[in-house]
Structure 1
């Protein structure tokens, strides 16, 4: 619905997400909600990423223009690698290098864009000063949740001016700027897996330094989340950054169907239709998280031991140059034929999760996947790997919305029995009923269209008011 009054000029907003689909998709969802109100969005990314984004609904296509920025060539980045899903984890720092080199083509576009605002991601510490010189205001739009941004802390800590966190153990407890009791912190094995996030890497800057620059220089902080779900974390962010902090809502995924997706879906639906209602465990770890070979073996054997049908989306490698190609245990596919599916390519996740046969979701706790599970009332079994996933898992555990597979605190190892037992607990057993019920209770909070609409109206009013000053 167009909310622009006759005398008002539509806003022109540029969006520039980090080169990861877990970032690009929520940015696109926000772009669609803003375009629905009659405003113009220029969505900037690289050519291959734009091609791979979901198709726009025809009524929004005239209002969302894709701006294709040529991907810079840098050392150690494979040909055609434009997103984190195209490269192994150790190569992502070189992708950040290439991404920083997009400053020049983006600046060139902004000069002639007549943009009012630019929405940018956590990697873009250089962007707000560039935009400011051109008279364009900036929003740091975080697809990370309020607890994650609150846990990261003030700019002084992020940029290394205040030695608030020195050892990995410092990340395993709630920080001093959080004034309430909480279990929201990393477990030791989680922080050790992402130690490069807090230390300088080959891109020249740590991820926390980048985020600090974004938080320091932006005009407004916009965060994917609901004030009603986590009001105390919004207050923490407001207190430590002392600038406007707005909720974007949970941005539930909207799907515009196209024919090739339906062809992929057809055989999957046929298999799911044969399974009893609520018995299938759906297993997927997003576009970035890739388990080790040992973890894949444990997950496979755990699925087998659970005695439940499963649909597993397994990324066997991250991009064609990834040398570590994952394999299933010997004999696994023969033993589980008929009762399980392993799919090694893209799948229509929302359609699978919406099917009545699916009764639970074994997930990495990436927030887009969490929101999609809540949209479809699927209880969560959590197995974290990277980035913000450990923090997300603590939030879900605290609110009894998800149950984490038990793991060794030091190295994060787990057993096939713990996988099987966790799945059965959440999906079948009386003890896990609370997880099944809480997910259903949260649905309205996460996907209520009126609340989401109100958040977008508040955001647009805020953007207008700042332009008028």
Structure 2
């Protein structure tokens, strides 16, 4: 059994049982819709050996080969074409596990401290649906120069924002935030380098959009509250997830350099404005609310869990 989102599984590896060269070729074909920098990153992941020997992708393929079925953190209502495709690709059942959204009830009171209180008080003072929440995770932080471009882009966009900034290792906040940034953004922006209770923030009535790396957990959390997405994928399955959401028209990708994945402030500002303001932004928000209904469909997810349990029982009885 292997648990992933469907977009990530489809784009991550070749057919189980293929040779090393065939798997590499299959990865290249599955990444044909990806920009060159992302396909190169996938190829490097396949080739790079870790301390235990095989690469991450090689271990993924070996795990998949030995699995009796693939359990996917998704559902046919969200990805109707993915499950038949996965079954054909891998020659074994692709079982929906449901989206497993976090429980929003009571999140405002979880793990609160002085910093969190200040963040939530700032949100309390903002108009409804006016704030762009910016969070790019901790596993693969952007380089300092790209974070500075992101800061300039938020300044140029002119929208309200809450940025949960995670500086790369060895970098201080002062080396990333441009000089005069706080003065230029004034009270419409807040930057915090502390841990932020993401689900509580996304549940807040002041938040209207989400700038995300498109890790699957973050995508589900954003859609849980009907937020359109500004998408800036960095690593792994985030690119396929972002393209899936772009196809569902719930947000806009930040334009990237095809070769090296870099971006500039104008591209950031344009994507933010496209999602947060105007007719296009309203269309994205409408589509995000439609997917919110899928994420909120507890009966759907319970059916998925029931089906997953039945597959486990079948495997045990074989």
Question: TM-score under structure 2 normalisation?
Answer: 0.90
- Structure 1 pair 338–164 and aligned structure 2 pair: CA distance change class (3 A): closer
Q: Does 1:140 align with 2:2?
A: yes
Corresponding residue SS for 1:278: coil
The equivalent residue for 2:216 is 367
Q: Does 1:192 align with 2:43?
A: no
Please report how far the alpha carbon of residue 240 of structure 1 lies from its aligned counterpart in structure 2 after TM superposition: 2.3
Residue among 305, 314, 317 paired with 2:165: 314
The equivalent residue for 1:281 is 132
Residue among 173, 177, 184 paired with 1:335: 184
Following the alignment from structure 2 to structure 1, what is the Cα–Cα distance between the partners of residues 301 and 76?
Answer: 11
Please report how far the alpha carbon of residue 217 of structure 1 lies from its aligned counterpart in structure 2 after TM superposition: 0.8
Please report how far the alpha carbon of residue 307 of structure 1 lies from its aligned counterpart in structure 2 after TM superposition: 1.2
The equivalent residue for 1:160 is 20
Residue among 311, 314, 318 paired with 1:462: 311
Following the alignment from structure 1 to structure 2, what is the Cα–Cα distance between the partners of residues 260 and 372?
Answer: 18
Please report how far the alpha carbon of residue 239 of structure 1 lies from its aligned counterpart in structure 2 after TM superposition: 1.4
Following the alignment from structure 2 to structure 1, what is the Cα–Cα distance between the partners of residues 271 and 112?
Answer: 32
Contact 2:72 2:97 in 1 (8 A): yes
Q: Which has the higher contact order (CA 8 A, sep 6+)?
A: 2
The equivalent residue for 2:103 is 254
The equivalent residue for 2:297 is 448
Q: Which structure 1 segments of 5+ residues have no match?
A: 1-138, 174-184
Corresponding residue SS for 1:461: helix
Following the alignment from structure 1 to structure 2, what is the Cα–Cα distance between the partners of residues 462 and 408?
Answer: 44
Q: Deviations over 1:29-49 (max 9, x none)?
A: xxxxxxxxxxxxxxxxxxxxx
Alignment of 1:51-62 (within 5 A): none
Corresponding residue SS for 1:165: helix
The equivalent residue for 1:352 is 201
Query: Based on CA coordinates, which of the two structures has the bigger radius of gyration?
Result: 1
- Structure 1 pair 231–431 and aligned structure 2 pair: CA distance change class (3 A): closer
Corresponding residue SS for 1:230: coil
- Structure 1 outlier segments of 4+, above 6 Å: none
The equivalent residue for 1:292 is 143
Following the alignment from structure 2 to structure 1, what is the Cα–Cα distance between the partners of residues 6 and 66?
Answer: 19
- Structure 1 pair 301–189 and aligned structure 2 pair: CA distance change class (3 A): same
The equivalent residue for 1:323 is 170
Corresponding residue SS for 1:419: helix
- Structure 1 pair 217–351 and aligned structure 2 pair: CA distance change class (3 A): same
Following the alignment from structure 2 to structure 1, what is the Cα–Cα distance between the partners of residues 119 and 37?
Answer: 35
Residue among 279, 294, 316 paired with 1:430: 279
Please report how far the alpha carbon of residue 241 of structure 1 lies from its aligned counterpart in structure 2 after TM superposition: 2.0
Residue among 252, 255, 266 paired with 2:117: 266
Question: TM-score under structure 1 normalisation?
Answer: 0.63
Contact 1:187 1:390 in 2 (8 A): no
Could you say what the CA RMSD is over the residues aligned between the two structures, in angstroms?
2.1
Q: Deviations over 1:212-238 (max 9, x none)?
A: 111111222211111122232211211
Please report how far the alpha carbon of residue 297 of structure 1 lies from its aligned counterpart in structure 2 after TM superposition: 1.0
Please report how far the alpha carbon of residue 333 of structure 1 lies from its aligned counterpart in structure 2 after TM superposition: 2.3
Corresponding residue SS for 2:140: coil
Alignment of 1:384-423 (within 5 A): 384-423=233-272
> More helix per residue: 1 or 2?
2
- Structure 1 pair 214–278 and aligned structure 2 pair: CA distance change class (3 A): same
Following the alignment from structure 1 to structure 2, what is the Cα–Cα distance between the partners of residues 202 and 273?
Answer: 46
Count residues with an aligned counterpart.
Answer: 312
Following the alignment from structure 2 to structure 1, what is the Cα–Cα distance between the partners of residues 84 and 110?
Answer: 45
Q: Deviations over 1:121-145 (max 9, x none)?
A: xxxxxxxxxxxxxxxxxx2222xx2
- Structure 1 pair 187–465 and aligned structure 2 pair: CA distance change class (3 A): same
Contact 2:14 2:22 in 1 (8 A): no
- Structure 1 pair 313–186 and aligned structure 2 pair: CA distance change class (3 A): same
Contact 1:310 1:340 in 2 (8 A): yes
